[in-house]
Amino acid sequence: MKPTLLILAAGIGSRYGGVKQMDKIGPSGESIIDYSVFDAIRAGFGKVVFVLNPNIEKDFKAIYEPRLSGKIETAYVLQELNNIPEGVTFNPERVKPWGTGHAVLVAKDEIDTPFAVINADDFYGQEAFQVLGGFLSNRNNEETHYAMVGYQLKNTLSENGSVSRGVCSTHNGLLTDVVERTKIYKEEKEKIVYEEDGKKHPISGNSLVSMNFWGFTPKYFEQSEAFFVDFIRENAQQLKAEFYIPYVVNKLITRGDADVRVLESHDQWFGVTYQEDKPVTIANVKKLVKAGAYPENIWK
């Protein structure tokens, strides 16, 4: 049973200033998504499911359908505000989607194998897909043994502004806690801090962080749906409250309903949080192509 890759591509990228999911960063016009799918195919994944914002659906399909046709099975689902439990009304002024945990849930009808979850705008590297693909290939659909690929915080920062990261605690190779820090950045002399409630707190560059690269089985849908029902009833009138994957994972771990193996990747992560990150990402991809990690044109 080949695992499935779920790509969260519904964000519009307010800090980036454009639709970064389709931005060209490879020598033959490839996006970060192209490299993620290419790495997934090499790691034995058999299907890719894209979670999209309705506003980009048509343009997105026009780009990726021709590229991926005949290479891997594809499916597309939409993350929409009204995709919530029946009988719940939400604030009509809300425009922001309900977060990464909700994005995973909207894909449940398209996934019937163990699956990986990734962001569309993060370049994770070949090793990460191999490691997680191997883990998922040994799972069955009812298991609650999950996984996460972890990176060192210092290797995941942007030189151009703050980033959001899930800061992880582990014990004996298993995740014990993950805290979403939404504003982490470098200060002078390479000091790293995060802000919370208007105050700065130091954080080690060696801290293990989640880059939203998770491995689940279909059992996860059932588990997270129950939490989402409670979340949406409590937060339906909020304009910005988000249902994050780490929120679900923490609840499962605390209750003893699942365990999460932390798999470390030695590949350098990079991404495009800000428009200014793009030249660095292009240069990094060029180095990888030159080193033979990827062909000049990956879909040729």
Q: The domain that contains 124 carries what CATH number? A: 3.90.550.10
Residue 113 lies in a domain: yes
Distance CA 182, CA 201 (A): 13
- The separation between CA 122 and the C-alpha centre of its own chain, rounded to angstroms, equals 7
Mean pLDDT of the chain: 90
Residue 143: inside a domain: yes
- Say if 296 falls within a structural domain: no
Question: Is residue 298 situated within a structural domain?
Answer: no
Residue 299 in domain: no
**What pLDDT is stored for residue 47 in this prediction?**
98
Query: By CB neighbour count within 10 A (0-12 exposed, 13-18 middle, 19+ buried), where does 279 fall?
Result: exposed
Query: Pairing relation of β-strands 163-171 and 199-202?
Result: unpaired
Confidence of residue 203 (pLDDT cuts 50, 70, 90): very high
Question: Residue 269, SS3?
Answer: coil
Asked, for residue 166, whether it belongs to a domain, the answer is: yes
Task: Considering only CA atoms, give the Rg of the chain.
Answer: 18
Residue 267 in any domain: the answer is: yes
Query: Is residue 11 domain-resident?
Result: yes
For the chain, the domain total comes to: 1
Least confident range from 85-89, 203-207, 239-243: namely 85-89
Question: Whole domain around residue 164: which residue ranges?
Answer: 4-290
Q: What is the pLDDT of residue 220?
A: 98
Q: pLDDT band for position 112 (50/70/90)?
A: very high
